[in-house]
Amino acid sequence: AGRAALGMNVRLARAGDIARIARTSGHDFLFVDAQHSLFNLETIGHIAQAALGCGISPLVRVRSCDDPDVSVLLDNGVTGIVFPDINNADEARRAVSRAKYPPVGRRSVVGGYPLFDYRAMPVAEAVPLLQEHTLVACMIETPAGVENIEAIAAVEGVDVVHIGINDLLTAMGKPGRFGDPEAAEALARVIAATWRHGKIAGVGGDRHLPRQMEYIRRGARFITTTSEIAFIQAEAARDPAELRRA
């Protein structure tokens, strides 16, 4: 619809309640971080089921474009996969191949999908629906990814090109230097190329609200706000600080 979709990064929560909290706090999707946190598959499945039940999209960042768990996550309620550290078109195609059915990819067909509430669905109906509604996001986190952005964004089956600002700055030798002119130029280049190829541009990793607003103004529509850890820490620190001042 052209509006910004906002996602909560989930690293600490291990229950489906986090889906309801994310929904109540105004988020559109969960960004379950299986790349950096110790989730098991069953826990992610429970969170995904809760998310489906309350109308928020459960997405999972996996470990790489070759993560073997992609298909089992998608078969058990996850509606999209975020693939980190995509540096070239071949890696983007490998990501798509994990998440999409033939002829675009090589995802295997199963029955009894949670997304259809386990109703019996003819394969001829289920596969096209899942093919259309399974999100594939490729993260650009290195100068190589920026350099190859035109080819990456052109890959069939990629829906979102998501810039990981933290890792990109680190790979550029500028860790934590948000707002750096060279990084801003790289970000603008990625967003422009993404839209040229009819894909959705995203930005994550920068938790500074004014800069996040600026990313949206520049064309980003897939935004991770911050993690539930940061939200908890911010509120947990506020009340004790007020009470100690009192």
The closest alpha carbon to 136, from 112, 108, 162, belongs to 162
Contact 86, 145 (CB under 8 A): yes
Backbone angles phi, psi at 163, to 5 degrees: -85, 120
Give residue 188's Cα distance to chain centre: 19
Distance between CA atoms of residues 56 and 27, nearest Å: 8
Q: Which residues contact 164 (CB under 8 A, 6 or more apart)?
A: 84, 85, 139, 140, 141, 204, 205
Q: CA dihedral defined by 131, 132, 134, 139, rounded to 10 degrees?
A: 110
Contact between 49 and 114 under an 8 Å Cβ cutoff? The reply is yes
- Residue 114, φ and ψ in degrees, nearest 5: -60, -30
Hey, which residues are catalytic here? 36
The Cα–Cα gap between 236 and 202 comes to 29
- Name the 3-class secondary structure at 234: helix
CA 71 to chain centre: 16
- Residue bearing tokens 């986090």: 18
